[in-house]
Chains A and B, each alone.
Chain A
Amino acid sequence: MCDQTFLAITFGPCDNCSQNKPLMNIYLKNEPINYCSLCVELMACQGLAKGETTNTLKAESESLKAKLEEERAKLHDVELHQVAEKIDALGQFVMKTRRTLKGHGNKVLCMDWCRDKRRIVSSSQDGKVIVWDAYTTNKEHAVTMPCTWVMACAYAPSGCAVACGGLDNKCSVYPLSLDKNENLAAKKKSVAMHTNYLSSCSFTNSDMQILTSSGDGTCALWDVESGQLLQSFHGHSADVLSLDLAPSETGNTFVSGGCDKKANVWDMRSGQNVQSFETHESDINNVKYYPSGDAFATGSDDATCRLYDLRADREVAIYSKDSIIFGASSVDFSLSGRLLFAGYNDYTINVWDVLKGTRVAILFGHENRVSTVRVSPDGTAFCSGSWDNTLRVSAYLRSSGESELRNILYNTV
């Protein structure tokens, strides 16, 4: 995270209406002003001022965009892979599936790891949400949601609850219990309410708050205990499909990607869209932060994955190949950020070298599209969920650069 500490006033009296509200820090004619979101909206919908027409406004916005591009281009002096030339290349990796989790009756849509590095929660199209101990492949809890297409599920940081949602337009939190016979649906808490399907949800640093994104084009932050809406984020012009929280120490931002081909970075405190990236050619299916919080990767239906640097404010790498035609549905980084795991709609998982932009491994095995790929919290393995009703946990086997002796020593049949 950038070392600059800029004291932005995020809550206080609005410059316009003088009410105490969360503030957006924007610049009007190069003057910094603090307006609340309502006043900003009013300003935008004020109507055309004297001498303004839709065309003049359009021209103004285009020229601003061009100016921004110019400024960005001035600072762009070298490509990522040029810097990476001095770094050793990775050999061709071989990954092996270590666990296959069978138990869902329909497409697996989403999964999440628990912080204990071995448990996972997964959700599927038939409404079932299952908590597994992936290491022993035992099912520990199962919940049946009242709706189908449960597209979002998340494990709470404490490991004591799971959140899930989908076509019911809600996000519900189920506290887990040690008693196997207890009906988890009895203690369910309905937290989020959207006007369209829930595409993604994530707990923040505690069990008490949830961040959700929805097909209605908005993201929202909710208080779990009361179900209160704490902050909403408007700015996408189409369905929002994915979101990810920044891992940095200040932890106040998150990124979201949607069907309008845009990836937006938001400030959780004020609800302001601080950065926006639009270089993809089709829907963005998944966004994931780089482990240091300085960059993020996206996977899209245009069959490419891209890396965006937040401080450079631009795209710095594209991961694509002519032979890869089908869209990427899910991406995740390895612990050091050197590898990018991406699941595609052609039933494969491709592993990319983030620095050099080359592909280091391809995994087959799933019999239908890969819908979700997540690396475990300690980076020892990754789990992929697919529309073939199974989840697979895979780990590293060997790479082409290693000696034969090492292969024998670290190998299992």
Chain B
Amino acid sequence: MTIRSDRDHGQRCRPRMSCLKKVEATVVQMQDPSTGVKGTNQKLNITTIPHAITGQDIVAWITKNMNMDNDEAQAFSTMLVAFGYIYPLQDHKKLVLRPDGSLYRFQVNKWKAEDTDYAIYLAKRNIRKKGVLDAYEQEEYNKLHKWMNHKWDFIVMQAKEQYHAGKARQKADRVVFDCQERAYWIVHRPPPQTHSAMDYGLDRHIDPNVEEKKTYDYYKRIVIYMCFMGFCSKSLFLACSLVKYMMTFKNHDPFLVPCLPRNPWQTDHDSYWELNTPDVEVPTKMRVERWSFSFYELLSDPRGRADFKVFLKKEFSGENLAFWEAAEELKWGTAASMSEKAEHIFKTFLAPGAPRWINIDGRTMGLTVKGLEHPHRYVFDAAQTHIFMLMKKDTFYRYLKSPVYKEIQKKAISPAPQFFCICIEAQLQQNMRNRRPSVSPIITWQKEQEEKAKAAAAAGPIDIKKLMASKLDRK
């Protein structure tokens, strides 16, 4: 009976640990007698350990031969220790590499990491001296004793044999062997509350080692789906467009150019966020500049969208954006309210004589009307794309040249970069206390919904007939 523990080092889906092959190649190089890491005999307690290497030698060798700098080499050598290729002689439980005179050795022996072998190892240690096991080891021992009760005689026999074989060795060899064995089990059966490098997470559902049995329908599907035409453009054009995007946004990237007045994470002052809330009265110059980069940027910033709406109101062409927003709501909204929303949109924007009629070409209108026979969430997709392109190619550019935009550009503030002195401990403490909690997004959301409802009620379509009728009535 094999016990499948969460540390199943059988690793049936092995490719995820394939990096270990490259690591092993490096370790073999390190062990080369002429070009590898230089080892010496070290005195430990009363015995001499051969081929011991120091931490700093390991790091130096890796820095030179693997073309890394010091920090990286240290991190890499810690991985070597964590995976058990090198083990520490002092402080054997801590699997990190100390880049000083601490001693390490290469792990040359390979045991099997099965539960049976672990049981034999623990039993052997128990035989040598009762009570030498750590608390967690004792617990594991008891567990294994219960699970493997049927094999226990075999295990004890093996343990006794190995113990006697060990006794027959030279003292120095025995110490070295015991050290290696102990190091091996620290890696493969780590103490609780420690982080183990051998842990690779969950197994994949589908075993990548198994070749997928490819029947005719597999190939048929490839043939069918491969026949789509992708749109390809010349690489130069595409590479340039990627570069152009990066250059356009370069000044807005806090990792490349510091954000003004100051980065809240660096300085514990959230003035940057205060100045850039979604509903701020006066936006910053950077934000206003960003709206001019593309229509998408303008619409995705709530403050930008609000400003655009002001412009549209002046032009009496707010229905395009209103239709686009309504179609977005339909697309991303709940399934339950979908068909009534679709009806409402059609009545408000598309039906002949609708109060907020939008101008779309005949073909699109035909497609949309046909789609409305069986309303689904993408029924206004064609019309929405048409209107979006119209706004993008025409209205957006007029907005950028309009007095509304020019005014907001003038009004926009440019916060001065705030300098702060090199901080001492007291300043840091004060900064930490200065960190203000913010309004919960739930409250912000509720407020937004209330404002939207108010705006919708106010901007309802004005029914001219009713208005005239009421005027006539008063007469």
Residues of A in contact with B (beta carbons under 8 Å apart): 2, 4-5, 7, 9-12, 20, 22, 25-30, 40, 43-48, 52-54, 57-58, 60-61, 64-65, 68, 71-72, 75-80, 82-84, 87, 90, 93, 98-99, 114-119, 133, 135-136, 138, 140, 149, 151, 158-160, 167, 176-178, 196-197, 204-206, 208-209, 215-217, 223-226, 228, 230, 237-239, 248-250, 259-260, 269, 273-275, 282-283, 290-292, 294-295, 301, 303, 309, 311-313, 316, 322-323, 325-327, 334-339, 345-348, 354-355, 362, 364, 367-368, 378-381, 387-388, 393, 395-397, 408-413
Contacts and interface: CB of A to CB of B under 8 A. Distances in A.
B15 interface: yes
Given A204-B332, A336-B252, A387 B195 contact: yes
B419 interface: yes
The 9 nearest A-B residue pairs measured at CB? A159-B441, A336-B249, A57-B219, A336-B253, A206-B332, A215-B205, A61-B222, A395-B265, A83-B239
B226 A64 contact: yes
B199 A176 contact: no
B216 A249 contact: no
A248 to B, nearest CB: 7
Nearest to A411: B422
B72 A64 contact: no
Interface in B410-458: 419-420, 422-424, 428, 435-438, 440-445
Interface string B226-244: 1111111111101111110
B265 A197 contact: no
A239 B389 CA distance: 38
B336 to A, nearest CB: 6
A204 B276 CA distance: 24
B344 interface: no
B127 interface: no
A165 to B, nearest CB: 14
A333 to B, nearest CB: 10
B18 A99 contact: no
B214 to A, nearest CB: 8
A260 B22 CA distance: 22
A366 to B, nearest CB: 10
A363 to B, nearest CB: 10
A347 B230 CA distance: 39
Given A4-B231, A68-B226, A11 B212 contact: no
Contact of A75 (B18, B205, B235): B235
A217 B115 CA distance: 33
B158 interface: no
A312 B438 contact: no
B334 A226 contact: yes
Contacts of B441: 114-116, 119, 158-160
B185 interface: no
A72 B238 CA distance: 13
B41 interface: no
A159 B335 CA distance: 21
B176 to A, nearest CB: 29
A160 B445 contact: yes
Interface string B1-24: 000000000000001101100110
Interface of B: 15-16, 18-19, 22-23, 66-68, 71-72, 75-76, 78-79, 195, 197, 199, 202, 204-206, 208, 212, 214-217, 219-236, 238-243, 245-250, 252-256, 258-259, 263-267, 270, 272-273, 276, 295-296, 299, 328-329, 331-336, 363-364, 367, 370-371, 374, 376-379, 381-382, 385-386, 388-389, 392, 419-420, 422-424, 428, 435-438, 440-445
A75 B233 contact: yes
B392 to A, nearest CB: 8
B328 A323 contact: no
A367 to B, nearest CB: 6
Contacts of A119: 441
B296 A249 contact: yes
Contacts of B273: 117-118
B442 A396 contact: no
A338 B437 CA distance: 31
Given A283-B15, A325-B22, A26 B333 contact: no
A73 to B, nearest CB: 10
17 contacts: A76-B235, A83-B236, A135-B438, A208-B332, A237-B212, A239-B206, A249-B392, A250-B388, A283-B204, A292-B245, A316-B239, A336-B245, A336-B252, A338-B256, A362-B71, A379-B254, A379-B255
Contacts of B255: 93, 334-335, 338-339, 379, 396
A381 B215 contact: no
Contacts of A338: 246, 250, 253, 255-256
Contacts of B79: 326, 346-347
B428 A226 contact: no
Contacts of B445: 158-160
B236 A78 contact: yes
B173 to A, nearest CB: 33
Contact of B232 (A29, A84, A90, A312): A312
A412 B229 contact: no
A413 B206 contact: no
A248 B294 CA distance: 11
A309 to B, nearest CB: 5
A20 B378 CA distance: 13
A397 B267 CA distance: 11
A360 B266 CA distance: 20
Contact of A136 (B205, B215, B221, B437): B437
Contacts of A196: 205
A159 B442 contact: yes
A70 B230 CA distance: 13
A10 B389 CA distance: 19
Contacts of B225: 26, 273
Given A60-B223, A208-B334, A313-B232, A249 B205 contact: no
A311 B208 contact: no
A238 B232 contact: no
B373 to A, nearest CB: 8
A208 B266 contact: no
Nearest to A354: B246
Contacts of B202: 149, 151, 167, 197
Contact of B241 (A239, A294, A327, A362): A294
Given A80-B239, A119-B441, A327-B19, A311 B232 contact: yes
A409 B419 contact: yes
Nearest to A119: B441
Contacts of B272: 380
Nearest to A205: B332
B43 to A, nearest CB: 32
Contact of B19 (A48, A61, A292, A303): A303
B320 to A, nearest CB: 14
A269 B16 contact: no
B144 to A, nearest CB: 23
A294 B72 contact: no
B327 to A, nearest CB: 12
A412 B204 contact: no
A334 B253 contact: yes
Contacts of B208: 238, 259-260, 283
A350 to B, nearest CB: 10
Contacts of B19: 301, 303, 325-327, 345
